[in-house]
Amino acid sequence: MPAQDPNELLPVVDQNDREVGLAKRSEIHAQKLLHRAVHVLLFDRQGRLWLQRRSQAKDSHPGKWTSSASGHVDPGESYEAAARELAEELGLNLPLHLLGKLAASRATEGEFTAVYRCSSDQEPRPDPEEIAEMGLFDLDRARELAQDPKESAPSLAAVLELL
């Protein structure tokens, strides 16, 4: 998908992460409505973290570094099922471990966010329409990068705090 569909319907949630309706992706972002997302952190066996640089076609934070894989939770989908993003974006099917859940906030741009971790020495096969490039970072460098708003999406720092 070269760019996200602004008319894609996503669940809108309340402050307690309960679904209260559906809205178009463009409306959710424009009106800063609360919604759901997942992030997956892929580590190699040496403990280095794969990060992706978002495609220039992305509707938010194009060209910025973010977690290994991420995406919105679709209507009727669980957070765990939404972690399908690992397979869709990186071509990997791996066992996932839930690190925790972040409350919707300014740092997560209004997203309740489930964060998963996995490890593998398999090389990711990034979807070129989603991802401009992949990079392998030691955790200190990843955290440093996450603090630079010119280089990374805002949610990366919040996601890394769960490690």
The pLDDT of residue 3 is 53
User: In the 8-state DSSP scheme, what is residue 53?
Assistant: E
The pLDDT of residue 65 is 97
User: How many helices and strands (H and E) does the chain possess?
Assistant: 5, 9
The 10s digit of each residue's pLDDT in 113-141 is: 999 999 999 999 999 989 999 999 999 99
Q: What is the mean pLDDT of residues 4-9?
A: 85
pLDDT exceeding 90 applies to what percent of the chain?
Answer: 91
What does CATH list as the number for 9-160?
3.90.79.10
Domain ranges of the chain: 9-160
pTM, entire model: 0.94
The whole-chain average pLDDT of the chain stands at 95
Please provide the distance, in angstroms rounded to a whole number, between the alpha carbons at the two ends of the chain: 31
Q: Which of 127, 130, 135 is nearest to 151 (CA)?
A: 135
